[in-house]
């Protein structure tokens, strides 16, 4: 990270631009919110482990599919504006552009 290089690349999963990101407090889960009205939870620890293994010459390739996708949620036609994990990672707050979902 000190070099400014990307730490990892997410596989293409959203059908519109990602507008919000939030990491769990321990950094193992990444949530993404998109203008496609979906929220996705990613196993970021596994993604970064694979990237590290690849850099060390022991891994395969960068993520190409949704094997790191833990869960996907759709809103009621409301693009995601912001995401925030609670202090103990028990809740994920979601802000949308049009009302609440």
Can you give the residue ranges of every domain in the chain? 18-96
pLDDT tens-digit map of 15-64: 999 999 999 999 999 999 999 999 999 998 888 887 666 666 655 554 55
pTM of the predicted protein model: 0.76
Q: Provide the terminal-to-terminal Cα distance of the chain, rounded to the nearest Å.
A: 35
pLDDT tens-digit map of 70-89: 999 998 889 999 999 999 98
CA angle, 84 then 25 then 53, to 5°: 115
Could you tell me the pLDDT band of residue 101, with boundaries at 50, 70 and 90?
very low
Query: Which residues have C-beta within 8 Å of that of residue 35, sequence separation ≥ 6?
Result: 16, 17, 19, 79, 80
């Amino acid at each position: 990270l000190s070099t400014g290089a990307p730490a990892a690349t997410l596989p293409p999963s959203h059908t519109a631009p990602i507008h919000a990101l939030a990491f769990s407090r321990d950094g193992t889960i990444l949530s993404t919110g998109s203008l496609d009205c979906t929220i996705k939870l990613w196993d970021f620890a596994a993604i970064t482990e694979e990237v590290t293994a690849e850099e060390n010459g022991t891994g395969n390739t960068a993520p190409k599919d949704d094997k790191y996708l833990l869960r996907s949620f759709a809103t009621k036609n409301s693009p995601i504006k912001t995401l925030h994990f609670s202090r103990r990672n028990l809740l994920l707050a979601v802000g949308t552009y049009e009302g609440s979902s």
